[in-house]
Structures are given as C-alpha cells and as structure tokens.
Amino acid sequence: MFFSAPANPTKFKHAVYLSASTLLGILVSLLVHAGVEAIYLAWAESSGKQVVWYGGCALHPVIQIVFIFLGVIGGFLLGRLWWRLVYIERKWAQAKKNV
C-alpha cells in the first residue's frame, strides 16, 4: 500500500526534502565535530599539552566553521542524490518489481 503509491514530486516537497537532508548533514557534522574534539582532548591530556579554549570549544573557530560548511554541502548533495533516486528514477519501485 505505502510502497505502491505513485511518486508525486512537487516543488514544495523537493524544498522540504532538501531542507531536511541539509539539516541531517548539519547534525551529522556536529556529531563528527564532537568526536574529533574528544579525540583531540584525549590526545592533549595524554601528551600533557595545554588546550586553548575558543568559547567552550577546543577546536579552532575555522575548523568549527569548516565542519558546519561540510555538513551543509554534504547534506544538500546527499538530498539531491536521494531525491533523484527516490522520486525521479524510482529505484524503490524497480527493486520491488525484481523481487
């Protein structure tokens, strides 16, 4: 029933889809940022290095901005890929027919 529904791509649905995937990219970049920072802090503690804090974060602000930028770009590009696979090429419908 759910999988046999015809795809109905509209401009609004496309915009929401890209926005949601961009938000997903930002959230994943925040998780990666936290992981990198935890590894960096563990390394700094084990080697006895002094950590400089930038507003509650140990990573340099440029690195923080790069993480968010890569999350936005990666999420947007992933959303475009998924949109093409799900709504344009309808890979899910083709996979169901082959089974």
What is the total count of domains within the chain?
1
Tens-digit pLDDT profile for residues 25-57? 999 999 999 999 999 999 999 999 999 999 889
Q: Is residue 55 part of a domain?
A: yes
Q: Is residue 47 part of a domain?
A: yes
Nearest of 78, 87, 66 to residue 24 by alpha carbon: 78
- In the predicted structure, residue 1 carries a pLDDT above the cut 90: no
Q: Identify the band that residue 3 occupies on the pLDDT scale cut at 50, 70 and 90.
A: low
Q: Report whether 36 contacts 29 (CB < 8 A).
A: no
Q: Report whether 68 contacts 29 (CB < 8 A).
A: yes
Q: Residue 89's pLDDT is what?
A: 83
Q: Which residues span the domain enclosing 70?
A: 15-92
Q: Is residue 6 part of a domain?
A: no
Q: Is residue 79 part of a domain?
A: yes
Tens-digit pLDDT profile for residues 70-88? 999 999 999 999 999 888 8
